[in-house]
């Protein structure tokens, strides 16, 4: 099969569907049992410097529209690309744009206080993290390392005494992932030790009061549900790698990417909220700034390597090496 035209991995799709549907089925737990948000007059007021106020305005009305517009341009650019990694990147950018659109709706029309719209924001980001993780894994595999390409030399060949492509020997890279994935599973439990706290604040921004309120419902999804979902998907990836005999890498890789989505998003939100619990404006500002940096980096990378990434046929590579004696 042409490595540039593989079908999209079903396990990753199923993992994303589960990530989205289950919290909605548990609506009573995630949204209602977490308690009603405090009224604005009951929230503590956190003053901001003039610089911080202008930064809040710029991130909301300049930075956010900029990266949303750029992500839309990239989606259109990638729309007809058949390559599996670029197709996954496109889907990740679509999910990213939808999630950020939900975030904008929440703050423009609901004052940032809708748990349901914030869930759609978080869900979009989890999906985006998963697809983009898959795009990175797939691109590294087929464009750089060449592990899954049966006729191409694996980049790790010089590190191994013998290669599974040419001899009946265990694969060094596969064994490395078999050891590394359990470590990532342990890290997935990191958010579970964080307390759920009410850290809502009001801050004056150029004459108006801005509500910064990561609700308990959002924290339940980000610090609890995402942690357990990541651990489950990563464990499935590890078990497939260990026990599936026929081509386990493809399924394991897709489950790994699906698990990295909730893991990456949950731990990122945990860091931002914990680091700036006393000044939540900076949490929101850094989230917007890093998203702009990420989208800009993706755009620059695609532009720099456009002649190779968007060619109709894969680039010619060196032929397989002779078997390396053990």
Encode pLDDT of 179-201 as tens digits: 999 999 999 999 999 888 777 78
DSSP state for residue 45 in the 8-state scheme: B
pLDDT band at 207 (very low <50, low <70, confident <90, very high): confident
How far from 36 is each of 32, 108, 213, 318, CA to CA, in Å? 7, 20, 12, 62
How far from 39 is each of 30, 44, 223, 268, 281, CA to CA, in Å? 19, 11, 24, 27, 19
Tokens found for residue 113:
């206080």
In tens, the pLDDT along 150-176 reads 777 777 777 777 666 666 666 777 888
- In the predicted structure, residue 115 carries a pLDDT above the cut 70: yes
- Distance between CA atoms of 130 and 99, rounded to whole angstroms? 13
C-alpha count within 13 angstroms, C-beta hemisphere, residue 103: 23
Distance of CA 172 to the CA centre of its chain: 27
């Amino acid at each position: 099969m042409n490595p540039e035209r593989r079908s999209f991995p079903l396990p990753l799709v199923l993992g994303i569907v589960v990530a989205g549907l289950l919290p909605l089925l548990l609506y009573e737990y995630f949204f209602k049992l977490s308690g009603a948000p405090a009224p604005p007059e009951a929230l503590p007021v956190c003053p901001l410097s003039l610089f911080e106020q202008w930064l809040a305005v710029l991130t909301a009305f300049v930075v956010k529209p900029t990266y949303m517009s750029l992500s839309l341009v990239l989606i259109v650019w990638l729309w007809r690309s058949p390559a599996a990694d670029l197709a996954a990147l496109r889907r990740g950018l679509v999910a990213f744009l939808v999630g950020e659109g939900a975030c904008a709706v929440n703050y423009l029309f609901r004052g940032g206080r809708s748990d349901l719209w914030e869930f759609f924001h978080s869900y979009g980001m989890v999906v985006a993290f998963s697809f983009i993780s898959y795009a990175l894994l797939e691109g590294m595999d087929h464009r750089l390392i060449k592990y899954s390409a049966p006729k191409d030399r694996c980049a790790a060949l010089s590190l191994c005494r013998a290669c599974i492509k040419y001899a009946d020997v265990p694969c060094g890279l596969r064994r490395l992932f078999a050891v590394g994935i359990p470590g990532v599973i342990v890290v997935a439990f990191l958010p579970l030790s964080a307390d759920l706290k009410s850290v809502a604040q009001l801050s004056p921004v150029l004459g108006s009061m801005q509500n910064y309120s990561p609700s308990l419902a959002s924290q339940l999804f980000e610090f609890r549900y995402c942690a357990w979902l990541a651990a489950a998907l990563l464990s499935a990836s590890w078990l497939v790698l260990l026990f599936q005999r026929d081509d386990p890498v493809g399924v394991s890789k897709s489950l790994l990417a699906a698990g990295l989505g909730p893991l990456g998003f949950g731990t990122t939100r945990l860091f931002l909220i914990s680091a700036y619990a006393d000044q939540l404006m900076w949490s929101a500002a850094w989230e917007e700034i890093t998203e702009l940096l990420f989208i800009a980096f993706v755009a620059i990378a695609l532009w720099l390597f456009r002649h190779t990434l968007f060619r109709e046929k894969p680039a010619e590579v060196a032929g397989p090496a002779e078997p390396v004696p053990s």
